[in-house]
Amino acid sequence: MTMNNQGSPTATGAGQTREPATISGDRGMDHEERLIFELGRPGMSGVDIPRVEIAESRLAGQRRKGPIGLPGLSEPEVVRHYVRLSRMNYSIDAGLYPLGSCTMKHNPRLNEKLARLPGFGDLHPLAPLSAAQGALALIGELMRWLTALTGMPAVTMVPKAGAHGELCGMLTIRAAIAARGEQRPRVLVPESAHGTNPATATFAGFTVDEIKATPKGRVDVAALEAKLGPDVGAVMLTNPNTCGLFERDVLRIAQLVHKAGAYFYCDGANFNAIAGRVRPGDLGVDAMHINLHKTFSTPHGGGGPGAGPVVLSAALAPFAPLPLLVHDASGFRLIEDRDEVPAGARPFGRMCAFHGQMGMFVRALATMLSHGRDGIRQASEDAVLSANYILASLKDAMSAPFEGPCMHEALFDDEFLHDSGVTTLDFAKAMIDEGYHPMTVYFPLVVHGAMLIEPTESESKESLDRFIRVLGTMALEAKAGKRERFEGAPRLVPRRRLDETAASRKPVLRWKPKEMPKAAE
């Protein structure tokens, strides 16, 4: 090790020697943290609530007999537990999170503040409508934005997430087909679709028939046309698609679908590439869900909650689920009962209790108002520009299966790793040691060893350049056969690769008091 003239090391020496095990089991600021059930003491609580006496007479003899088994901790202990857990997570606030098809963009804190205003955050869903006019007006305003941005005549706000929105859209289609007195049990889904599409179609009572992709990563229109027929209820298409490409033949596809008497369901997961430039209504779409957590920046929260409003064409609008929001001289009203719906409406049913993800609506509208139509368009353009910049900068070092331009995400395959002994998974895991969350890997299924990079509009050019430099260098090393960086990566993390096979072979899904798991420390 080299030293300066004061005797201090001039390099950290990291990577040369493995640090000695610590006495505590912690590694500097990387703390180990036990399960909450392994902490605390009986009788302790982080909340001061007086113990009140109660009579048993109203409990129907059903008083709980034994203890629940929850641990007791004071507030500082609880805070420390969750702060330590949080520090084991990667996040968009901490670094570039290029998870393709998930759209990890900046989440403005203004939105968090506004969703917590008592008039929204502390409003009961069954408060008298006179006490909720502001909330209903907000939903109405969000509906106006969504219909204007999509060029669609109607929208239902109830679905609680993207997949729930898909289900809502497909149930709307099912109801419309039934109203025509027809049987159309088949749904065509491209093989590049999100897994939720075939799952949703099946869930909604359809059978799924896959359509092949062309070598250019788009729907094979001839194959689609060949499969269309009087038994097809809908085609579910993602556009821009999961290869990050715009379906050039979308107008022709819509025309064919409609000619066959079927409906065009568009998965709106990738609306963030075209919002403010292209209106799905102009593309012939009949139903499309919008993931508010993607395009309109509500936080992903470690996996939800989301929100999945569905815009509908005039043909499908009458079948939207309850409740319906109407506005008349007396103000806003919620129609929650089938017998009170406006003339012509035939709601297919109810998707969930109450009226949708209000907390997400506030955040999404705050994002829309902040950006405005010009900012929304600019955000889409920047997302597409950044993805193309990555594609152009890395297509020689890595390998891209399809020619650009791409939309908001750049797809690579594992051709460049051929014979290197490094897999897509190794490459992705090595990114973690470089301080990056990996891209989406092995999806879409239509290319081998897929790596799908979505930078979003939230990264500066400096950040993109650094990312490109790191990935480019990694690719060169992999191709040069320098495997040590990749094998067994990641290393500089709270946990190394985890044994997923063991986890699923003998599932341990909860802590149990008797067979205390061996402490990790």
What is the CB neighbour count within 10 angstroms for residue 317? 20
Amino acid, res. 217: G
**CA–CA separation, 66 and 432 (whole Å):** 46
Q: Which is nearer to other proteins, 313 or 388 (CB)?
A: 388
**CA–CA separation, 371 and 377 (whole Å):** 9
CB-neighbour burial class of residue 392 (10 A; exposed 0-12, middle 13-18, buried 19+): middle
Question: How far is the CA of 425 from the CAs of 146, 243, 441, 475, in angstroms?
Answer: 38, 19, 7, 13
CA geometry: angle at 11 spanning 9 and 17, to 5°?
95
Q: Which is nearer to other proteins, 180 or 496 (CB)?
A: 496
- Least distance in angstroms from the C-beta of 230 to other proteins: 22
Candidates 96, 98, 132, 176; binder of other proteins (CB under 8 A) is 132
- Least distance in angstroms from the C-beta of 303 to other proteins: 4
Residue 519 in contact with other proteins, rule: CB under 8 A: yes
**CA–CA separation, 55 and 493 (whole Å):** 53
Candidates 1, 23, 29, 49; binder of other proteins (CB under 8 A) is 49
Residue 485 in contact with other proteins, rule: CB under 8 A: no
Candidates 186, 289, 437, 485; binder of other proteins (CB under 8 A) is 437
Question: How far is the CA of 68 from the CAs of 43, 78, 298, 466, in angstroms?
Answer: 13, 19, 35, 51
Residue 355 in contact with other proteins, rule: CB under 8 A: yes
Residue 27 in contact with other proteins, rule: CB under 8 A: no
Q: Which is nearer to other proteins, 1 or 49 (CB)?
A: 49
Instruction: Provide φ and ψ at 142, rounded to 5°.
Output: -65, -40
- Least distance in angstroms from the C-beta of 197 to other proteins: 8
Contact 288, 264 (CB under 8 A): no
Candidates 26, 75, 182, 484; binder of other proteins (CB under 8 A) is 75
**CA–CA separation, 459 and 103 (whole Å):** 12
**Token code pair at residue 100:** 């393709």
Residue numbers 142-161 binding other proteins by CB under 8 A: 145, 148-149, 151, 160-161
Stretch in the footprint of other proteins (CB under 8 A) among 12-20, 177-185, 351-359, 474-482: 351-359
**Token code pair at residue 61:** 């003899």
The enclosing H or E element of 224 equals helix 221-227
- Least distance in angstroms from the C-beta of 468 to other proteins: 10
Candidates 236, 250, 475, 478; binder of other proteins (CB under 8 A) is 250
Number of residues forming the site for other proteins (CB under 8 A): 209
Residue numbers 102-121 binding other proteins by CB under 8 A: 102, 104, 106-108, 110, 112-121
Residue numbers 274-303 binding other proteins by CB under 8 A: 274, 276-279, 282-283, 299-303
Residue 432 in contact with other proteins, rule: CB under 8 A: yes
Q: Which is nearer to other proteins, 120 or 223 (CB)?
A: 120
Candidates 220, 267, 414, 457; binder of other proteins (CB under 8 A) is 457
CB-neighbour burial class of residue 475 (10 A; exposed 0-12, middle 13-18, buried 19+): buried
Q: Which is nearer to other proteins, 418 or 465 (CB)?
A: 465
Residue numbers 178-207 binding other proteins by CB under 8 A: 194-196, 198-205
- Least distance in angstroms from the C-beta of 5 to other proteins: 39
Q: Which residues pair with 234 in a beta bridge?
A: 187, 263
